[in-house]
Amino acid sequence: MIFLRSDAPDFPQRFQALLEQARATTADVAGAVTSIIAEVRAGGDAALCAATARFDRLQLTPERLRISEAEVDAAVARVPAPLMDALDVAARRIEVFHRAQLPADLEMTDAEGLRMGMRWTALSSVGLYVPGGKAAYPSSVLMNAVPARVAGVARIAMCVPTPGGVLNPLVLAAARRAGVCEIYRVGGAQAVAALAWGTESIAPVDRIVGPGNAYVAEAKRQVFGRVGIDAIAGPSEVVVLADAAQDPRRVAIDLLAQSEHDEAAQGILISTDAAFAERVAQAVAAEIPTLARAAIAGASWERHGAVIVVPDWDEAAALVDRLAPEHLEIMTADPQAIFAKVHHAGAAFLGASCPEALGDYVAGPNHVLPTGRTARFASGLSVFDFLKRTTWLAGDDAALRNIGPAAMALAEAEGLQAHGRSIGIRLERNASA
């Protein structure tokens, strides 16, 4: 963990080093992923089964790629009722928030008489990747699948690795609750390849969403263009702005809620009070040994954690914009006033009673957010990721006469003769009629 003061002479250099800190994996997997994708494209189901045996220690035949409804039934039956109730609470709240985002079609007629508009339509099919590594994330199933269903996507196919053949009941229960149509027991780059290109058993999709390891991220990068993708997800991160009136232990736990994701995650505290910041750092050190994932959280905090002391909240907001964090918590007397000065954050959590973890599960806004400072130009997952826009024009002869000559002049200037003629021939016909 590093401790920075913005009034220190070396602060600009040390803060820049923090911004440039490499937290994503440095492993070069591009070549391996290219080979896996090529194998699946050429070999279909057989290659997919072979890759699953190699990477997930699971022998499959094409008939067993898809998880059957009976298997899902059995898995759901093993989920305790209180957990099913919690899934339902989360799913309902996510659906309400995302349904409120649905846009209306646009239609207008301008002064020249040309009618024009924009129509929204849902994607036909979406592939959802669910990781099966250090933790299972049924909440991510809901956050990815529910907005797709709300948008009107007809087919939602899910791939989830099952190392050793072990199915996670809560993940399958979440998939059913969210309206997932098909579930396949495959993961890794091979699953992304199957969703993008299709095999005998898995039809290709139009967009792939969901996080994964370095191989999954690289596979999504390589298939982009063949299909759409949501983003290349990086390690999780949170910036907490807290004043001296807060409980140091509460702030510490919020920082560790990100650190426990993985060793590359990051928690940063920004405060105007140096003594309070020191108490938070001490509370973090005391809390780490009590966590089940203490080794992961400890490594994350030691390698990537930071405490920054600033003179005022204006400077804090400026630093937040440079960090452009995935998550921003503002625990101060007037969080709204500070948030108004922040331009770049994936999601904000305002007030001492609104921890980021609330947004991870049941609040309603999506927890799939831009990481690695990409909040400077990217946004969290929403229904818009599962919709596309089509613009349209409709005009009569009068409208063509009003604006056609300007289009012809521009076409001539660009040397595109047929473009101009396609308008001119209509104007000539109209003039002779």
Q: Which residues are catalytic?
A: 326-327
* Edge-first strand listing for the sheet containing 115-122: 106-109, 115-122, 387-394
CA distance 274 to 332: 15
Q: Which residues pair with 119 in a beta bridge?
A: 390
CB 244 within 8 A of CB 273: yes
Alpha helices, DSSP H only, in 198-293? Answer: 214-223, 248-259, 274-287
Burial class (CB in 10 A: 0-12, 13-18, 19+), 80: exposed
Residue 101 CB contacts under 8 Å (≥ 6 apart), including other chains: 382, 383, 384
Q: What is the Cα Rg of the chain in Å?
A: 26
- Indicate the length of the chain as a whole number: 433
Q: CA torsion angle for 11, 12, 17, 20 (degrees, to 10)?
A: 140
CA distance 127 to 141: 11
Helix (H) or strand (E) holding 331: strand 327-331
Count of alpha carbons within 13 angstroms of residue 115, beta-carbon side:
5
Q: Which residues pair with 109 in a beta bridge?
A: 115
CA distance 128 to 146: 11
Pairing of β 2-5 and β 155-159: unpaired
